[in-house]
Amino acid sequence: MLDVERVNGAPFTVAQWRYTTKDSDGNTLTDGLLTMPFPLKAGENFMGSWQAKYAGPDGQRDKIGPQVNGGKLSGELVDGQLRLQLNPNMNDNNVTFVGTVDGDHISGTWHYSTFAGETNKGTFEALLSKQ
């Protein structure tokens, strides 16, 4: 779904992307929705939101970090690489998506990190919602 918003009088579009995350074995872990400016502009930081539900195997939910329910996100597109922080105001317990945008498709990897370092990782894929 695309909505036109205004910031300081200038119009911009907000898009929703349906996404899934998977573990290293290819099991789906979450199903969710990313809401971000559209189109993404290289070199600009942006804010958005996310919401997701757990869809993975029993006993794995505690290994993916804070990827369930929802919150704000921050992002940037630099040199063709998209980087999203699902919990931008936390110093620990971070989930980061890093991927590439190809038209109405985003794919890449997710990483869950704590103060001890990377705790878990997998892949994600998002498709632009055209409702």
The structural domains of the chain, ordered by start, are 2-128 (2.40.128.120)
Closest CA to 46 of 30, 29, 34, 59: 34
Radius of gyration of the chain (CA): 15
Left, alpha or beta for 25 (phi > 0: left; psi -120 to 50: alpha)? alpha
Closest CA to 49 of 20, 13, 88: 88
With residue 57 as reference, give the H or E element that holds it: none
pLDDT digits (tens, 9 = 90+) for 48-105: 999 999 999 998 898 899 999 999 999 999 988 999 999 898 878 899 999 999 989 9
User: Residue 1 pLDDT more than 70?
Assistant: no
Beta strand ranges found along 10-116 (DSSP E): 10-22, 28-38, 45-54, 69-78, 81-85, 94-102, 105-114
The amino acid at 86: L
Percent of the chain's residues with pLDDT above 90:
65
**CA–CA gap between residue 41 and residue 28 (Å, rounded):** 29
Extract the tokens encoding 125: 């894929």
Q: What is the mean pLDDT of residues 118-124?
A: 94
The answer to whether 56 and 30 have CB atoms below 8 angstroms apart is: yes
